[in-house]
Structure 1
């Protein structure tokens, strides 16, 4: 088989499997591993794949899928698109950012959602009205929200080498998210969560096994640099290992990218680095833990916001559920009221808010305008079942026009 044709087949195999070893490819083609390494090196130089020790993984899957839909895998067409992307990269390297570009490093979990008439008491067994297996994780949910809020999104996460990891790949690569970096752990499973949703009021209780989400390496964070260079916003949470999140924040600041931190679930390891964050978005519980002040109303939220800001963060935006949100910026407070909503499932409300907020800021809205937009987005999200079931940008604009 000629080299060019063999490389086309390699790309096709990687498109289906995401990553493959040199040993596997050598056996597949009945050729030496050295020849395969040369093929992979050439494809890596063209920006099509990424090499790692012992194998390679596909890059820019969205571009590749557009070409391979009709089983016409064409390297020239692919490279034409990639060269066009490189021209954009060269422009951004001179200091220009792509409008509406959000980069998100976060978690992916498979959620096991049980709908119950009410939450069980300690030691009590109750019957669920339904059980559902669906994709989730704060990072994935926020990436989906930002993409539905009309932003261009690059999402990076880490999964296990298991069935849930394959489901993550299929779910994310077929979503509205524009581009994806999916790292894989050889030792930890894909993250998972068990979620109870009360049919009484839509409230939820969640237990999370982070799995591979907690194994993001320094090298994997460093590989996000080209995506951060294009972005106006980096959005992070705390479901990944704290050192990876901090490294991502520091890298973004070095590149002049605005950082939004959703400090959930809370970790006190982030406190020494709040001064590197531009906007922090805790809910009532997280604001209480960050400040040491029990947040239960607007007055206590104001006190907590001032304490959090004293750590050096520029802007504090505390979400207060049905009470809306409180914005503290430049020593001034602003209350954004909640919009009326018929809550069906509040599981993804905070993720919907943060994703939409990031999208609006990336598209040029100021923080107050973005918070109003995010409030409308979240009010629609809670009316849908499933944490990853997000409303459209047009439906948000319609709700805003009604209120």
Structure 2
């Protein structure tokens, strides 16, 4: 069941019963208690209900069917709401990391063609296989973080087309603990057309963003409780940048560590670097962010220093089979790559980012987290499909092979 429909049903139950309780609603809708609390907080912000111990009740007796149908049309002064929320929320206490990760990102339906080689312009070739599966950087990273044993809340938006139910079924049956899945009335669910070369596992991708580009300020503000409860906020650049920037702003104001995976590259990323605690570009993205062509370790060091000077926190440049480079503003740390039998590199970056976020959320150091993420990603490229992530124990086993300890 999608978020909007669930919230509307909660309002209908309130209209009939005058009160509802989290412990009853969670099993009724087969979602977590935290998701129900998020729903009730969202409806409270609309002014139609008020919270009570363990649940909610109708704010006034005039709540009617028209209010139920039109509650999502309320206009919110977004930044005023952020200020109000912050003023009414105690400063986040320094506490031991609990492994909670909130991810705002994309969901795409991947249409994959496995080919012997990439076609030339105007050429038609036969594929050895064709697969339709779940994807999108946000969804992939949420799976990777969940497989790395983080407590993940995933936020995305899909359409109301033939792929929307596919998205819901995939996410709800996955190991992702909870989610907020919005729907757009007109935009289609995002999709990606992917060629995977059987020669070396490399890929070519064309993305149709669809509903991923239609997240509203109101929808971003509604996930504030999830952000406040997280240790790490992870996001990318496949959603509309206004939504991404607003979510980063909220997380930053709440004192939540922000990880930005600047992919696919957009110069808009430069606007938020001062609020980013960790940035994880690949070689291409690091080159575009810095203006320095990254093709070896030395050029990666110069690029990392340039990105840091532009306001970013810790810079982690991922270089595929050449490993990863960390620059915290004081020193460079090189993380060697793990040997892997590469089959499909499509989700390698997502695997690294999700695993890295999970490790940081659980209190690992940046170096420890990057080593674990590298091990995790090396296993991901041995699997077919961007969303086909390895398990935590396998990553730990491969990590034990690291000879740099």
TM-score range, shorter chain: 0.7 to 0.9
Shift in Å at residue 126 of structure 1? Answer: 0.4
Shift in Å at residue 299 of structure 1? Answer: 1.0
CA pair 243-205 structure 1, distance change in 2 beyond 3 A: same
Shift in Å at residue 93 of structure 1? Answer: 7.5
CA pair 199-278 structure 1, distance change in 2 beyond 3 A: same
Shift in Å at residue 149 of structure 1? Answer: 0.4
Contact 1:261 1:277 in 2 (8 A): yes
- Distance in 1, matches of 2:252 and 2:297, equals 31
Deviations 1:340-370 (A, max 9, x none): 0000100000000000000000000011110
2:238 equivalent in structure 1: 239
1:101 equivalent in structure 2: 100
1:1-400 matched pairs, under 5 angstroms? 19=5, 38-39=15-16, 42-43=19-20, 46=22, 61-62=31-32, 83=54, 95=93, 96=95, 99-400=98-399
- Distance in 1, matches of 2:128 and 2:380, equals 22
Shift in Å at residue 281 of structure 1? Answer: 0.3
Cα RMSD (Å): 2.8
Specify the SS of the correspondent of 2:272.
Answer: helix
Specify the SS of the correspondent of 1:129.
Answer: strand
Shift in Å at residue 162 of structure 1? Answer: 1.4
Specify the SS of the correspondent of 2:152.
Answer: strand
Specify the SS of the correspondent of 2:258.
Answer: strand
**Which residues of structure 2 form unaligned runs of 5+?**
36-52, 56-87
Deviations 1:325-350 (A, max 9, x none): 11111321111010000001000000
Specify the SS of the correspondent of 1:275.
Answer: helix
Shift in Å at residue 94 of structure 1? Answer: 6.0
1:11 equivalent in structure 2: none
For this pair of structures, how many residues does the alignment match?
Answer: 350
2:60 equivalent in structure 1: none
Specify the SS of the correspondent of 1:61.
Answer: coil
- Distance in 2, matches of 1:380 and 1:354, equals 14
More deviation in 103-112 or 269-278? 269-278
What is the TM-score with the length of structure 1 in the denominator?
0.81
What is the TM-score with the length of structure 2 in the denominator?
0.81
CA pair 300-161 structure 1, distance change in 2 beyond 3 A: same
Shift in Å at residue 39 of structure 1? Answer: 3.3
- Distance in 2, matches of 1:246 and 1:35, equals 34
Contact 1:98 1:231 in 2 (8 A): no
Contact 2:159 2:211 in 1 (8 A): yes
Deviations 1:19-58 (A, max 9, x none): 1797xx8xxxxxxxx9766138734x759779xxxxxxx9
CA pair 37-400 structure 1, distance change in 2 beyond 3 A: closer
Contact 2:144 2:389 in 1 (8 A): yes
- Distance in 1, matches of 2:138 and 2:399, equals 26
- Distance in 2, matches of 1:245 and 1:308, equals 19
**Which residues of structure 1 form unaligned runs of 5+?**
1-14, 26-33, 51-57, 66-81, 85-89
Contact 2:147 2:391 in 1 (8 A): yes
- Distance in 2, matches of 1:170 and 1:40, equals 30
- Distance in 1, matches of 2:12 and 2:264, equals 47
Shift in Å at residue 224 of structure 1? Answer: 1.0
Shift in Å at residue 188 of structure 1? Answer: 0.3
Shift in Å at residue 202 of structure 1? Answer: 0.2
